[in-house]
Amino acid sequence: MAPEIGSGPGTVEWRISDSPVPYEAAVAEMERRIAAIRDGSAPELGWLLEHPPLYTAGTSARVEDLLDPNRLPVYRSGRGGQYTYHGPGQRIAYVMLDLNRFGRDVRCHVWRLEEWMIAALARFNVRGERRDGRIGIWVSAPDGREDKIAAIGVRVRRWVSYHGVALNVDPDLDNFRGIVPCGIAPAATGHGVTSLAKLGITASMADVDIALRATFDDVFGAAATCAT
């Protein structure tokens, strides 16, 4: 899909990739883009995509949390966090923003990413929530079980953010069995992972993209507040 660019201060270009993007290619593209954002030769970017099935290891990843090293390719990532799974049916949103516009506050940036996921999920009548001590966005089942539906991991270089969020639309959740997702062991904690599809929500990736676009400006607008 051709890029779409907004107008006015803090203009953000939007790009949607129609086929899965290899992880290393995506990281290389993000590196190029944040350099261009820093030198003023390109606008900020929101990039919506999917990856082929793979695991990424964040800066806090522990070797013992990779339960099945031969299941899928594993990539070291400069983002924060631990192990996570990416694959078809999961909407990745890489968000490249100049945090000079937001007071150089990384914690606030993470809060806004969380708030964005919560607002987008509300469009599907799903209540996404934060949990103290647990990164990402969670949903509660009637039996009290809490499952993660969106993962968050960011990196900042010279006050330009990259990486971002991963929202489970309809991925193969069995692939999460090869890792301890984000360091939270389901057997020990009773927490797991879920998706819109598992919750009974029939939503296409295009539906999710519309929800993401519709809620982004309210969260990341110049006047938006941050309650960290």
Residues that are catalytic: 182
By residue count, the chain amounts to 228
Tokens of 149: 């539906």
Mention every residue, 6+ apart, whose C-beta is less than 8 A from residue 138: 128, 129, 130, 131, 146, 147, 148, 149, 191
- Of the candidates 217, 154, 218, 225, the one whose C-alpha atom is nearest the C-alpha of residue 12 is 217
Alpha-carbon gap, residue 55 to 48, rounded angstroms? 18
Q: Which amino acid is at 51?
A: H
Q: Which amino acid is at 132?
A: D
Per residue in 165-192, is it b (16+ CB within 10 Å) or e — as a string? Answer: bbbbbbbebebbebbbbbbbebeeeebb
